Structure 1
Amino acid sequence: MLAAVILVCLATVLTVILLFAASIFRKRRPGEPPVVAGSLLWGSAADFSRHAVNFLHKCRSVYGDVFTLRLVNQYITIVMDPHSIEALSKERNFDFDPIQKQVNWNVFNFSLVEPKKMIKDTGRTVRGTYMKRGMTSYVDNLNMACDDMHPDNNNVTEEWAAEGLRDFAAKTIFDALFNSIFGRQQSSATFSSQKVYENFEVFHEYFNYLWLGVPKKCFPAAMKALGGLLAQPSADQLLAADDTCDYIKNAIDYMRLHGQSDSDIKGHNLVYLHVNYNTFRLAFWAINHVLEDPKAHEALVAELREAVDAKVDSDNLATFTARDVEDLKILDSVVQETCRLASGVFMVRYITKDTQFEDSNGKTHLMRQGDRVAIYPPAIHKDPEIFDEPTVFKYDRFIDATFYKNGKELRNPVIAFGTLCPGKRYALLQLKWYLLTAFTRFDLRLQPGAKAEYDYRYHGHEVLPPVDDVNIDYRPRSEFARLDFASE
């Protein structure tokens, strides 16, 4: 077994070397963006992996808003101009389909048949009436998860309990997300929210290597974790369960209609779970940043508890619509600021044919067929011309605020999930509801000396993880209103 793994890895290295040899002799053509100078072997890969944002800002100062990186054997043209995002997203010769195929196959072991049609078909199940039904399930599951955090069989005490913040979030928001996707009766000893959380913690360490094409067999720990993540209920079991979410059921029906296997379905289910895992990561950072800033903590708790007090009825139930939650200005600003700081998403497209791309300043750049073109939102999110003190968390930064670059207002100053995510509103609403619930039901504080730091090695992930967990104290509040979700 070990010998086979070594042979696979050696074959991969040889392939990369051959491709690399061809790539380094490539000549720049007239009109193409400048290529950033890098190492003979890796190109700019090492510089990018150390701290992508700082590296890209340095490149912009030397090469301008559009330049090309060589990452080993791949060429990626980076567009740093935020006003060009819409044009890049709408360019027909810049195709996301080959990128999602690469990620789905290299990371999750499956391919989609007619993926564009599927995204369109299943995307409706995270909007409108479907979103409202999903939110109801999520809210119910979150209430149950919070109940389980009460010590002594839910009898509230005045004692503080200690927990790692990531573990606290895993037992609350991730548990609620997991069970609202797969249903509570589908949980088992091998496939539960806790086991999936533990396996994701391992699997995501290797994510950037996997999507670039390094075989999973080179990473035994990743293979073992993936096995646990794929230990899911069968498609028939998920379809038969009343509490499986609409998205999963719709995706199963679509994939079966197009002749895809149960193995393919499990791989796709894992992609959806991975997306929700990013919501959990954002929840960690939102609570951490709020607890680090006493003014933010005081302001947010005051807004949330005032909103709850205004809604609570004689049965001690406070009912909110999506719009009620979205209208809370401090909460919205905290979430936007968290997304700005924590996002690591890479908006990459494959160039299907030579293209003359015109940026927002009217300058044309020749984009080469077979290369990739990308916007890197974190580099925009940390631009000091757009955001004052860009590495500092400011809870009220987005309250009634507008942002500018080169004297022009930005339409979308924060791009946390890319431009193609159909469930963006749903994910942000789930995050906001979690913060509303957590600060309504618990007193929270960081333990002395606790300080979370972003792990910048994972730029390219949708949301950056922390280097290490931080410890918090939490105490269930003796009096709180239960929260309920209602349609508009």
Structure 2
Amino acid sequence: MAIVDNLIDLSLQVYSQFVSFSLLKQVLILIIIPFLYNIVWQFLYSLRNDRAPLVFYWIPWFGSAVGYGQQPYEFFEQCRQKYGDVFSFMLLGKIMTVYLGPKGHEFIFNAKLSEVSAEDAYKHLTTPVFGKGVIYDCPNSRLMEQKKFAKFALTTDSFKRYVPQIRQEILNYFESNKNFEMKNKNEGVVNVMKSQPEITIFTASRSLMGEAMRNRFDESFAQLYSDLDKGFTPINFVFPNLPLPHYWKRDAAQQKISATYMKEINKRRINNEIEGDKDLIDSLLKNSTYKDGVKMTDQEIANLLIGVLMGGQHTSASTSAWFLLHLAEQPQLQEDLYKEVTGLLNEKGTKDLNDLTYEDLNKLTLVNNTIKETLRMHMPLHSIFRKVIQPLMVPNTKYVIPKGHYVLASPGFAHTSENYYNQPEKFDPYRWEGNSSTSADDGVDYGFGKVSKGVGSSYLPFGGGRHRCIGEQFAYVQLGTLLTTFVYNIKWRLQGKEIPHVDYNSMVTLPEEPANIVWEKRETCIF
């Protein structure tokens, strides 16, 4: 008790002395003490040889948020030159340990479930966007089964059906959107940051969710998904819920999209319109029972549908926007793509783009390499996190990453590094000629089908390990159909002098606006 009494007396004396100071002195003390503590703490931290070197920062708690948030790849390169491939930095109160390059990919993506957790890293960020009970708002075993449920819509037979459906949606957009209206216009200007999210929503909903669900979507849904996108920002990573406008828009968008899915689900339930193989909604309504006998609720199915469509929307909207911008800067590359498409049609004895099938898409080497090169230069997610749930040793070092810290992999950094690619800043699809990234390993099945176990590659646009994106093939189908439809019908150029810079305000690497292209019809345009 005496010790407690002494502490109370000391605290009262300190407080009494503090309140006796002028307001200016009080403010200075409140500012200076945290700064001094921050510097002393960093000095003591630096003396530990079992910790990765920590990037020095002046502002307590805030850390390196500005440098990382504005230009993550430049920030990583500066740190790499000073500290090597492994280092840590403070990000809004959280210590992130970065491991760059293929060895870092292997270390983080293939870490054991007992060591790191994607759920603990992302749950607070994703649950308000997708909803409860799905993706990271459930145990990892549940997520693996949800991926398996969703893979129904990602089979070869499905892709064969999707190609004409996706193409028709794009042509409908060319006809009806005010920036195209190709039946009445021969040229025009379009902002790809408006057109591509809309086209992505329409094509993905038509193919994956079916015609009935597509008819419930209009252009406003692209804005709703954009509002959901804004839920993935660094501030959301730290503060999942704040009384700010973009949080309100996120929540309103989630509720409206979820309610739209629920209307379609309820309609099918009431009318007994469940066959099991019509589309993804149909499949989930019939086949979404976990191994332990628990069934997904209809609300959880609606939430999973949000996640599935949004996962594709992220990749395809950003990737198609970027390749349209890069191709606008390289008219000769557009012509090469056009010749590849028309050349294949000629071999088939036709001039009708509608005769281009799923099998044909796989034969269009330059088309696929253009997509591949775009994903190299503009991987949609610049950083991938995991939370450490037990002390984690970094191989071939003395570093131990403590429980509660985070690890960060950045395949996008390797994609754009001259350590792995010649002239990485140059958009050159021809660099991939004769170069396949397909792994030769036997793969591993995490519960949703086999994926490559080897992730020690410099090129991982769809991530790796148990959380590898299952939509890679669908992305190539959607993007390949989109690219061939564009080059067959129009040619285009930049409206400005150069390609827009990357906007890193979101965790998705999008072009800064305005991102306008000027288009004109080709002779082969179907309109």
Shift of the 36–230 alpha-carbon distance from structure 1 to 2, 3 Å rule, reads same
Residues 1:396 and 2:415 are matched in the alignment: no
Q: Which residue is 2:461 aligned to?
A: 416
> Matches of 1:152 and 1:366 in 2, distance apart?
58
Shift in Å, 1:198: 1.5
Residue 239 of structure 2, aligned match among 211, 214, 221 = 214
Residues 1:90 and 2:110 are matched in the alignment: yes
Q: Which residue is 2:476 aligned to?
A: 428
Residues 1:102 and 2:124 are matched in the alignment: yes
Identity, % of aligned pairs?
15
Shift of the 437–115 alpha-carbon distance from structure 1 to 2, 3 Å rule, reads farther
Residue 320 of structure 1, aligned match among 348, 357, 360 = 357
> Matches of 1:219 and 1:476 in 2, distance apart?
46
Residue type of the partner of 2:470? P
Offset from partner CA, 1:391-434 (integer Å, 9 cap, x none): 2212312222489xxxxxx9633222211212222222321222
> Matches of 2:425 and 2:512 in 1, distance apart?
15
> Matches of 2:521 and 2:430 in 1, distance apart?
26
> Matches of 2:279 and 2:497 in 1, distance apart?
37
Q: Which residue is 2:416 aligned to?
A: 382
Q: Which residue is 2:20 aligned to?
A: none
Shift in Å, 1:150: 5.0
Q: Is the 8 A contact 2:231 2:250 kept in 1?
A: no
Offset from partner CA, 1:232-268 (integer Å, 9 cap, x none): 2313346647797327742885379646655544333
Shift in Å, 1:64: 0.9
Residue 346 of structure 2, aligned match among 309, 314, 317 = 309
Residues 1:120 and 2:144 are matched in the alignment: yes
Shift of the 107–293 alpha-carbon distance from structure 1 to 2, 3 Å rule, reads same
Shift in Å, 1:172: 3.4
Shift in Å, 1:98: 1.6
Residue 312 of structure 2, aligned match among 276, 285, 296 = 276
Report 1:68-83 matches (<5 A): 68-83=88-103
Q: Is the 8 A contact 1:331 1:432 kept in 2?
A: yes
Q: Is the 8 A contact 1:166 1:469 kept in 2?
A: yes
Q: Which residue is 2:24 aligned to?
A: none
Q: Secondary structure at the match of 1:254?
A: coil
Greater shift, 149-158 or 79-88, is seen at 149-158
Q: Which residue is 2:368 aligned to?
A: 332
Offset from partner CA, 1:143-162 (integer Å, 9 cap, x none): 32233245599995782243
Residue 169 of structure 1, aligned match among 196, 199, 223 = 196
Q: Is the 8 A contact 2:175 2:182 kept in 1?
A: yes
Q: TM-score scaled by structure 2?
A: 0.74
Residues 1:471 and 2:517 are matched in the alignment: yes
Q: Is the 8 A contact 1:79 1:374 kept in 2?
A: yes
Q: Is the 8 A contact 1:145 1:171 kept in 2?
A: no
Q: Which residue is 2:378 aligned to?
A: 342
Shift in Å, 1:176: 0.9
Residue 186 of structure 1, aligned match among 202, 213, 223 = 213
Q: Which residue is 2:87 aligned to?
A: 67
Greater shift, 303-312 or 202-211, is seen at 202-211
Q: Which runs of 5+ in 1 are unaligned?
A: 1-17, 404-409, 482-488
Q: Is the 8 A contact 2:90 2:96 kept in 1?
A: yes
Greater shift, 68-77 or 100-109, is seen at 100-109
Q: Which runs of 5+ in 2 are unaligned?
A: 1-33, 438-454
Q: Which residue is 2:164 aligned to?
A: 140
> Matches of 1:222 and 1:472 in 2, distance apart?
35
Q: Is the 8 A contact 1:173 1:434 kept in 2?
A: no
Offset from partner CA, 1:320-369 (integer Å, 9 cap, x none): 344x42343212221111011111422211111112221xxx33531211
Q: Which residue is 1:198 aligned to?
A: 223
Shift in Å, 1:51: 0.4
Offset from partner CA, 1:34-82 (integer Å, 9 cap, x none): 1111133211111101100001100011111100111021111000132
> Matches of 2:176 and 2:371 in 1, distance apart?
33
> Matches of 1:252 and 1:371 in 2, distance apart?
41
Greater Rg over alpha carbons, structure? 2
Q: Is the 8 A contact 2:170 2:482 kept in 1?
A: no
Q: Secondary structure at the match of 1:70?
A: strand
> Matches of 2:150 and 2:491 in 1, distance apart?
31
Residue type of the partner of 2:401? M
After superposition, the CA RMSD in angstroms is 3.6
> Matches of 1:96 and 1:152 in 2, distance apart?
42
> Matches of 2:504 and 2:353 in 1, distance apart?
46
Report 1:339-378 matches (<5 A): 339-345=375-381, 346-358=383-395, 362-378=396-412
Shift of the 412–459 alpha-carbon distance from structure 1 to 2, 3 Å rule, reads farther
Q: Is the 8 A contact 1:455 1:467 kept in 2?
A: no
Residues 1:39 and 2:86 are matched in the alignment: no
Q: Which residue is 2:325 aligned to?
A: 288
Shift of the 294–475 alpha-carbon distance from structure 1 to 2, 3 Å rule, reads closer
Shift of the 122–176 alpha-carbon distance from structure 1 to 2, 3 Å rule, reads same
Shift of the 130–277 alpha-carbon distance from structure 1 to 2, 3 Å rule, reads closer
Shift of the 305–458 alpha-carbon distance from structure 1 to 2, 3 Å rule, reads farther
Shift of the 228–205 alpha-carbon distance from structure 1 to 2, 3 Å rule, reads closer
Q: Is the 8 A contact 2:57 2:63 kept in 1?
A: yes
Shift of the 246–178 alpha-carbon distance from structure 1 to 2, 3 Å rule, reads closer
**How many equivalent residue pairs?**
449
Residues 1:160 and 2:187 are matched in the alignment: yes
